[in-house]
Amino acid sequence: MTNIPINKPYADSGEEALVLDAVKTGHGEHRNKYLDRFEQEFASFTGAALAHCTSSCTGAIHLALAAMGVGPGDEVIVPEITWIASVEPVLYLGAKPIFVDVLPDSWCIDPKSVEQAISPKTKAIIAVHVYGNLCDMETLLQIAEKHHISILEDAAEGIGSYRKGKHAGSMGTAGTFSFHGTKTISTGEGGMVIASDPEFMHKLRVLNDHGRDPKDPEAKMYWMRQYGFKYRMSNTQAALGVAQLSKISELVQKKRDIFLSYQQELNNLPLHWNPEEEGDQNGYWLPTFVVDSQHSFNREQLFQAMNANNIEARPFFYPLSSLPMFQSRPENKVAYGIFDRGVNLPSFHEISPNEIDRVCQTIRNFFHG
């Protein structure tokens, strides 16, 4: 019985050709050839004015928060349901993460909980488009404007997701993306920051070049006014990104087709799926269901059944405040009430109809057994 992985990259001869060209020619005066192109084409795809490649989405979040001025003594509001990479950069900068609840339908950050958590120390909100689902950006932007704070959209999982015609990541102060090998498009590892404010992006680029500022009148080789970071993407990775981006419509549509197949085949089970509001488009990075709270469900037993059929599935994210390094916040009742009833299903681009059937049959057998 063949293994069905949760996700893996898709690549063909187009990727091979550009990566080989980057290896052979992407040095010296051409060292940024594909980096520049990837940034320009990704900005165009997302509708952003500017984009900057990074070595990971974690690095992108770190740079963006630093460029927003987040530092020691500040507070940053973060949703409970997200991967820990959304919050680690807050800690890198010496700030304090404030965990708030999520909405029961989208599993994204709850704007009411955000407003209740704002204090004089609040510097930023991180809005995570979890699993490709979309945050209520209109309400969050109103809150941010009212309190004069920044919004960072963590769109690591949101490639191909649109909120009222605007791509995930393009609505806040900045947006960040991941090109990890499990994502809809991949450079193996890698990330991107997008923004519309040239001054913000200049500050971010300086931070990502060890603090070297070409606009500083006193700047000279090996001299800089501040220290920075190095989250640079390689030109070779960017070549892979350019090739992946050239087929982005096809890759997103495949994700959507996979999700709809699961939803249709399992429509008679007590499951709540990734939502898609009218006027939105969900890129459905990971098809995810949460079992109805009125239905008895043991997730570990389902995983055992999946493993027995060589199917890789993943658990829904734990509430971040439930992890040992943080103080538990069980008052965030939605997050604490859904995490152990949520499951992510395989959605790699080349999954076959027979493999989807095998996943669905395993789930049906579990619920009806």
Given CA atoms 126, 349, 104, 305 in this order, what sign does their dihedral have?
Answer: negative
- The amino acid at 178: S
Query: Which H or E run contains 183?
Result: none
Given CA atoms 145, 147, 149, 153 in this order, what sign does their dihedral have?
Answer: negative
Contacting residues for 257 by C-beta, under 8 A, at least 6 apart: none
d(CA 53, CA 208): 10
Q: Report residue 54 as tokens.
A: 């990074």
Given CA atoms 163, 200, 81, 289 in this order, what sign does their dihedral have?
Answer: positive
SS3 category, 299:
helix
State the Rg of the chain over Cα.
21
Whether the Cβ atoms of residue 126 and residue 76 lie closer than 8 Å to each other: yes
| 284: region left, alpha or beta (phi > 0 left; psi from -120 to 50 alpha) | left
What is residue 252's DSSP assignment?
H
Q: In this structure, what are the phi and psi dihedrals at residue 167, rounded to the nearest 5 degrees?
A: -70, 140
| 315: region left, alpha or beta (phi > 0 left; psi from -120 to 50 alpha) | beta
Q: Using alpha carbons, select from 185, 164, 168, 88 the residue that is nearest to residue 128.
A: 168
Using a 10 angstrom Cβ sphere, with 0-12 exposed, 13-18 middle and 19 or more buried, the burial of residue 330 is: exposed
Token match 């501040």: residue? 226
- The amino acid at 183: K
Active site residues: 183
